[in-house]
Chains A and B, each alone.
Chain A
Amino acid sequence: MQTFTEKYDLLGCIQCGRCTGGCPVTVRADLNVRQFVNDAYDEDKLEELAKLAEIWDCTACHTCAVRCPKGLKPLEVLIGLRTMIVESGKVEPTVRDALQSVLLEGNPWEKSRATRSDWMEGLDVRIADPDEPVENLFFVCCTIAYDPRVRAVAQNMVKLLNKAGVDYAFLPEDESCCGSEVLTLGEEGLFEMQVEDNTEYLNEFKAERIVTLSPHCFTTYKTHYPDLKTPVVHYTQLLVDLLNDGKLSWKGELPKKIVYHDPCYLGKQGGIYDEPRELLKSIPGAELVEFERRRERSLCCEGGGGKMWVESESKKERLSDTRIKDAKELGAEIVAVACPFCVLTLEDSMKGLGYEEEMRVAEIMELLGELMET
Chain B
Amino acid sequence: MKTFVCIKYVPDTSEAEVKLNPDGLTVDDSRFSFDINDADNYAVEESVIIKEAQGGEVTVLSIGPKKSEVMIRMAMAKGCDKAVRIEDDRIAAHDPLMVAKVLAGGLKDQEFDLVLTGCMANDDWHMSTGVALAEELGVNHASMVNKVEILDGKVKVNRELEGGLMEVVEVDLPAVLTIQTGINEPRYAPIRGIRQAQKKELNVVSLDDMGIDAAAVNADASQVVLEKLYIPEVESSAEFIEGEPDEKAEKLASILQKGGLV
Contacts and interface: CB of A to CB of B under 8 A. Distances in A.
B30 interface: yes
Given A96-B186, A104-B70, A115 B192 contact: no
A190 interface: yes
A93 interface: yes
B190 A89 contact: yes
A88 B48 CA distance: 13
Interface stretch (A106-114, A155-163, A243-251, A322-330): A106-114
Interface stretch (B31-39, B171-179, B233-241): B31-39
Contact of A110 (B15, B34, B185, B191): B15
Given A104-B70, A110-B15, A112-B15, A86 B30 contact: no
A346 to B, nearest CB: 26
A10 to B, nearest CB: 23
A129 interface: no
A45 interface: no
B31 A96 contact: no
Given A104-B33, A105-B33, A189-B195, A112 B12 contact: yes
A87 B189 contact: no
Contacts of A103: 70, 191, 194
Interface string B193-229: 1110000000000000000000000000000000000
B190 A115 contact: no
B31 A115 contact: yes
Contacts of A101: 33
Contact of A111 (B33, B78, B186): B33
A86 B190 contact: yes
A96 B32 contact: no
Contacts of A230: none
B185 A93 contact: yes
Given A89-B78, A111-B15, A100 B188 contact: yes
Contact of A114 (B16, B35, B185, B189): B16
B18 to A, nearest CB: 12
A113 B190 CA distance: 20
B187 interface: yes
Most buried by A among B70, B185, B186, B190: B190
Nearest to B34: A104
A52 interface: no
Nearest to B33: A112
Nearest to A87: B190
Contacts of B12: 110, 112
B188 A99 contact: yes
Given A104-B33, A104-B35, A105-B33, A115 B191 contact: no
B32 A114 contact: yes
Interface residues of B, number: 23
SS of A interface (majority): helix
Contact of A87 (B15, B70, B193): B193
A14 interface: no
B15 A96 contact: no
B28 to A, nearest CB: 11
Given A112-B12, A113-B33, A189 B188 contact: no
B47 to A, nearest CB: 14
B182 to A, nearest CB: 11
Nearest to A89: B187
Nearest to A90: B187
Contacts of B194: 103
B65 to A, nearest CB: 15
A190 B190 contact: yes
Contacts of B188: 86, 89-91, 95-96, 99-100
B16 A112 contact: yes
Nearest to B185: A93
Interface in A68-121: 86-91, 93, 95-96, 99-101, 103-105, 110-115
Interface of A: 86-91, 93, 95-96, 99-101, 103-105, 110-115, 187-190, 192-193
30 contacts: A86-B190, A87-B192, A89-B187, A89-B190, A89-B193, A90-B188, A96-B187, A96-B188, A100-B74, A100-B188, A103-B70, A103-B191, A103-B194, A110-B15, A110-B33, A111-B15, A111-B33, A112-B12, A112-B15, A112-B31, A113-B33, A115-B16, A115-B31, A187-B190, A189-B191, A189-B192, A189-B195, A190-B190, A192-B191, A193-B191
6 interchain residue pairs of minimum CB distance: A89-B187, A189-B191, A112-B33, A96-B188, A189-B192, A114-B31
